[in-house]
A and B are shown apart, each in its own frame.
Chain A
Amino acid sequence: MKLVVRRLDAHADRDRFDCGVAPLDEWLKRQAGQAERKRLASVWIATTPDDSASIVGYYSLAPWQIAFEECPPAVSKKLPRYPVAVTLVARLAVARAAQGRGVGAELLVDAVFRAHSASETVPVQAVVVHAKDETAANWYKRHGFVSFSDRPLHLFLTMETIGALKHPPG
């Protein structure tokens, strides 16, 4: 399915987006604009080339950090910076009509590529996701994300791993 990904704008028809998960639909309709305006997150939408208003899927990226309950000097010395800066893929959703066609994985790739490109300017160590449930967590695991033992719905992928993928130009 050919798609065009761009930053959320006023032209996008957010009201008709339906991914089947109410909190994800409502967030796009009611809060994504505020998240952008307050610079809490950037929101990226996918549309088809011939209908730039209907949203096929979206994701959002936000700055985040990882800290440790215990961080002895021997550990912090190994880190470039502490707490560790990461990028959060805060939400990722695909409209019902486009589900089952690999669009989610392609949007995930777009999100991690974008995070990786940004990290060339402002370095971060990894991309983190917060899966909404176990099924979603397993989907991220299939795509190489590593889950935390004590927080199994939080998963991450290192920038080094993302860097090993073939990136789009620019």
Chain B
Amino acid sequence: MPVTVLRPDAKGRVGLDSLTRLLRQRYGGQPISGYAAEITADGTIVLRPRVEVDAEQAATLVLTTRDRDVFLDALAKPARPAAPLRAAAKRHGKNIARS
């Protein structure tokens, strides 16, 4: 699902014609109710799939009973870190500094 970005001109304006043209190109013939529009601080209009926005804002993952049991089993019996993660941790120690 595409993300649509419409940037303002030097005066911070977004033309209605360009917005209409872009919407027609991207979404012509299909409903746009599945998209959420956001205007950022610099005036840019961002249209994103609503499911993505909802997932971010929900902040809760609801698990089925089957997945609940997977999760609780892992908490009860934590696995040893996988070899690729251990190797990456070793590289991290050599390559990454924090500031």
Contacts and interface: CB of A to CB of B under 8 A. Distances in A.
A78 B52 CA distance: 32
Interface in A117-167: 125-126, 128, 130, 142-144, 146, 148-151, 154, 156, 158, 160-162, 164-166
Contacts of A106: 88, 91-92, 95-96
B66 A150 contact: yes
Interface string B62-73: 111111101110
B14 to A, nearest CB: 14
Nearest to A146: B74
Given A68-B62, A164-B80, A110 B75 contact: no
B61 A65 contact: yes
A51 to B, nearest CB: 14
18 contacts: A1-B95, A3-B96, A4-B98, A4-B99, A5-B99, A30-B5, A30-B40, A65-B60, A67-B63, A68-B62, A70-B68, A105-B87, A109-B89, A142-B84, A144-B82, A154-B61, A161-B81, A165-B81
B55 interface: yes
Contacts, number: 165
Contacts of B76: 78
B17 interface: no
B21 interface: no
Contacts of A109: 85, 88-89, 91-92, 96
Nearest to A63: B59
A130 B55 contact: yes
Nearest to A88: B59
Contacts of A68: 62-63, 65, 68
A26 B82 contact: no
